[in-house]
Amino acid sequence: MIVHVVDGTYELFRYFFAVPSHVTDKKREVGGTRGVVGSMLSLLEGGATHVGIATDHVIESFRNDLLASYKTGEGIDPSLRSQFTLLEDTLSAVGFCVWPMVEFEADDAMGSAAKIAAADARVDRVMLCTPDKDLGQCVTEDGRIVQFDRRRETLIDFAGVIAKFGIPPLSIPDYLALVGDTADGIPGVPGWGAKTTGLVLARYGHLEDIPLEAGKWDVSVRGAGKLVNALAANYENAILYRRLATIETDAPTIVSVDELEWKGPGTNCEAALHEIDADPYIGRIERILRRRR
């Protein structure tokens, strides 16, 4: 069994900006939602059987209580924001298992569901369908959890994470703490760039293991003294940033992987698709069901 765990919010943003606007006769923008639903049907048409979709019901999470500069929903186009709930409701009507996150983030839901699914002996592989570098920390050495960038059709396994960042998955939160993550509002430590951070963490693994004296480093990097001083001066912040970059694996998602099996649409599916002017999707769903009988 292959389980697909999808970042629904990423998909909504992607389709909102990638496809033409579509406004219904009720004056509601639905273009992004139509795109995501169509994309999820493509997953089923490609043979996917067990699919879970995580969304940010709101952008803010518990992380905003830890860092004032952490990302918020400020500045999001109202036409995009108005589709958050619409997308969740429509995907649910089509029969998908959806996790709208409020306290946690969609990334946390993905990591949590992946952990549960991978623990099931019936599961051969969990595909984390997102290019987000944060989720690289969830990739496992045994290949049971991998990332899959559907747009580029690129699979990132354990070796792929190392090839991309120079470090294994478990060091990704430390990496993001040092380099920063502008998308999430994590500033990082001044002077710590991607290449240097990869070299240092490849040797030491985690923040606590990096000597705070340049003379004790046994890895050669330019400007080691300045890097040590910057880390020492921002050490508590770096620890906090790592906390923010760490995927929580106890978000409320599933108890059993069986909950992810797509068994067909709900009774309100036709009405939900009609609301987004996606009536042709009904025929696609019927064809998927026929092929599975």
Mean pLDDT, each 10-residue run in order, the chain (293 residues): 98 96 96 98 97 97 95 95 98 98 97 98 98 96 96 95 97 98 95 95 96 89 92 97 98 97 97 97 96 86
Q: pLDDT by residue (tens digit) across 268-290?
A: 999 999 999 999 999 999 999 99
- Say whether both 97 and 23 belong to one domain: yes
- Say whether both 207 and 256 belong to one domain: no
- Say whether both 23 and 123 belong to one domain: yes
- Say whether both 154 and 175 belong to one domain: no
What is the full DSSP assignment across 50-89?
EEEEEEESSS--GGGGT-TTS--STT--HHHHTHHHHHHH
Determine how many CB atoms are found less than 10 A away from the CB of residue 162: 17
The answer to whether 169 touches 161, Cβ cutoff 8 Å, is: yes
Number of domains in the chain: 2
Query: Looking at the domain assignment, is residue 177 inside a domain?
Result: yes
- Say whether both 192 and 230 belong to one domain: yes
- Say whether both 53 and 121 belong to one domain: yes
Q: pLDDT by residue (tens digit) across 165-185?
A: 999 999 999 999 999 999 999
Task: Tell me the pTM.
Answer: 0.95
**pLDDT of 168:** 98
- Say whether both 54 and 162 belong to one domain: yes
In a 13 Å sphere around the CA of 195, the CA atoms on its Cβ side amount to 5
The answer to whether 146 touches 125, Cβ cutoff 8 Å, is: yes
**pLDDT of 8:** 98
